[in-house]
Amino acid sequence: MNFVKIDGIEYNLTDLEKDCWVRLLNGSLKGRDPFHTPTLANIGKKGINMRTVVLRKVNTIEKLLTFHTDIRSGKWQELQNNNSVSWLFYDAASKFQIRLAGKATLHHNDIIANESWQKTSANSRKTYMTTLAPSLQSETPTSGLLSAFEAVNPTIEETEIYKKNFAVVVTQIYWMEWLWLSSKGHRRASFNYAENNKFEASWLVP
């Protein structure tokens, strides 16, 4: 038996790999999906750094996962020094964990960043509108925003000067690992992507 049966459906390694990418894609499209807000890890000056990010885009063919960030953030600087990243997703309802490893490409003030900025609402752009850089110390518990923008959401025109802080990080995935928790025994599989995005797959002991 070279398949796993989940909710009555049989998945071989090829089916499973496809299913993982469909779940990732859904995560990027649906705000309430458990895969919408994964953990992203990278290597910083003091060691491993992790944080929650919003999964903005998934390319299931090219195996790309994308998030947005502020170029003044710690991770932007860190990724310039070392572009290795690791993603962690968990869906408690389906009991699926997906871990992925990739290499990041940084986009600021280019076509990719500009296109994404155009699609970002004025309200979402508030993230990039702090007057001082993220992570700077403050004497008060501050939002970092001008007080006018705390009370009232900015207009799209008011957000434009903050575009300089906005960036897109595209990560090229070269490894994915799936784990499914089941009372009848857990199941686990690993996928490695070659240059042409063909994958080598194998079942693992959980």
Ligand X SMILES: Cc1cc2nc3c(=O)[nH]c(=O)nc-3n(C[C@H](O)[C@H](O)[C@H](O)COP(=O)(O)O)c2cc1C
Rule CB under 6 A: which residues touch ligand X? 37, 49, 51-54, 67-69, 73-75, 134-135
| Closest distance of CB 40 from ligand X, Å | 8
Q: Which C-beta is closer to ligand X: that of 26 or that of 116? A: 116
**Phi and psi (nearest 5°) for 167?**
-145, 160
**How many angstroms separate the CA atoms of 158 and 13, rounded?**
50
Residue 49 or 105 with smaller CB distance to ligand X: 49
CA dihedral of residues 117, 119, 123, 124 (deg, nearest 10): -60
Query: Distances in Å between the alpha carbon of 100 and those of 24, 97, 108, 146, 195?
Result: 11, 10, 24, 38, 16
Shortest Å distance, C-beta 116 to ligand X:
11
By C-beta, is 16 or 53 nearer to ligand X?
A: 53
- Closest distance between ligand X and the C-beta of residue 78, in Å? 7
Nearer to ligand X among residue 135 and residue 182 (C-beta): 135
Which is nearer to ligand X, 57 or 103 (by Cβ)? 57
Q: Which spans in 83-195 are helix H?
A: 111-119, 122-125, 147-151, 156-159
Cβ neighbors of 15 (< 8 A, separation 6 or more) are 3
As measured in angstroms, the least distance from the Cβ of 37 to ligand X is 4
Residue found by looking up tokens 């699926």 in the block: 96
- Are 80 and 103 spatial neighbours (Cβ–Cβ below 8 Å)? no
Distance between CA atoms of 115 and 107, rounded to whole angstroms?
11
Rounded to a whole number of angstroms, the minimum distance from the CB of residue 41 to ligand X is 10
If one counts every other C-beta atom within 10 angstroms of the C-beta of residue 83, the result is 17
Q: Name the amino acid, one letter, at 71.
A: I
CB 190 to ligand X: min, Å: 27
| Residues 88 and 65 sit within 8 Å (Cβ to Cβ) | no
Query: Judged by CB, which is closer to ligand X: 124, or 202?
Result: 124
